[in-house]
Structure 1
């Protein structure tokens, strides 16, 4: 029952993100908007419930399956990108490097804080 409650919370935020996307005509995925809203809520609360943590952990374990349909869809519209391969390649490389460096920076920052808390 606990995991079901966590999936319900994730679904509510997904629907809220979709509603905002449609109402405000935003060019961003409703799922992304919903996760931003959920992030702000969790930051304000300062903690995460066990049910939400359990549901999120279950989804992380099958993340590849959640991403795969979008990746496969790109192959069906590949001819539309025929003149844009350089821009796509640069965006992929820069985006990957930015995400890796951001993750590294955050890990170092929060690992140092946690190590300072234990001393």
Structure 2
């Protein structure tokens, strides 16, 4: 039941993101807006509840499968990027580096310090 409540929280934030994108006519993915809303909510709250933990852990395990349809879709529109390979490569490289740097910074910031076992 805990995982179901957590999944409902995740879907609720996705629907809030969908509503904001629709109401404000934003050109951003509703999933990204929902995730930003959830991040702000969790930052204000100061912790992640057991419901969201129980729902998110299995999703993290299959994250590659969740991303795969978007990656595969690129192959069908590759002709549209033919003249812009340098910009696409630069965006991929800089985006990857920024993502890795942000993840490292967040991990160092929020993980508890290790205690030396003596």
Q: TM-score, normalised by structure 1?
A: 0.88
- The 3 A distance-change label for structure 1 pair 45 and 25 is same
What is the deviation of 1:20? 0.6
- Structure 1 unaligned residues grouped into runs of 5+: none
Match of 2:8 in 1: 8
Task: State the distance in 2 between where 1:76 and 1:32 align.
Answer: 23
Task: State the distance in 2 between where 1:75 and 1:12 align.
Answer: 32
What secondary structure, in the 3-state scheme, does the structure 2 residue paired with 1:28 have? coil
Match of 1:99 in 2: 99
Q: How does 1:1-119 map to 2 (within 5 A)?
A: 1-111=1-111, 114-115=112-113
Q: How many residues align?
A: 116
What is the deviation of 1:108? 3.3
- Structure 2 unaligned residues grouped into runs of 5+: none
RMSD of Structure 2 on Structure 1 (CA):
1.7
Task: State the distance in 1 between where 2:108 and 2:46 align.
Answer: 20
What is the deviation of 1:104? 2.5
Structure 1 window deviating more from structure 2 (91-100 vs 60-69): it is 91-100
